[in-house]
Amino acid sequence: MKAKEIRVLNDEDLIKEIETAQKAYFDLRFKAATKQLKNHRDISKVKKTVARIKTEIRRRQLEKGRG
């Protein structure tokens, strides 16, 4: 998921997305540990998506604090 797509989501959707992405990240790590993962690049893609979502959540928290 790209940053532009993340910015248009509302707060509830962001929470749903981060839960989904974190579960996907866990599943990919588990598959990698059991040698069932075909494409190891998926791990870094999902990890970056989690970071992007967390960054947007934090940005919104900081903006609410200022206003």
pLDDT of residue 67 exceeding 80, the answer is no
pLDDT of residue 34 exceeding 80, the answer is yes
Fold topology of 3-66: Helix Hairpins (1.10.287)
Which pTM value belongs to this model?
0.89
What is the reported pLDDT for 43?
97
Tokens linked to 11: 């707060």
Q: Which residues have CB under 8 Å from 60's CB, separation 6+?
A: 11
What is the reported pLDDT for 14?
96
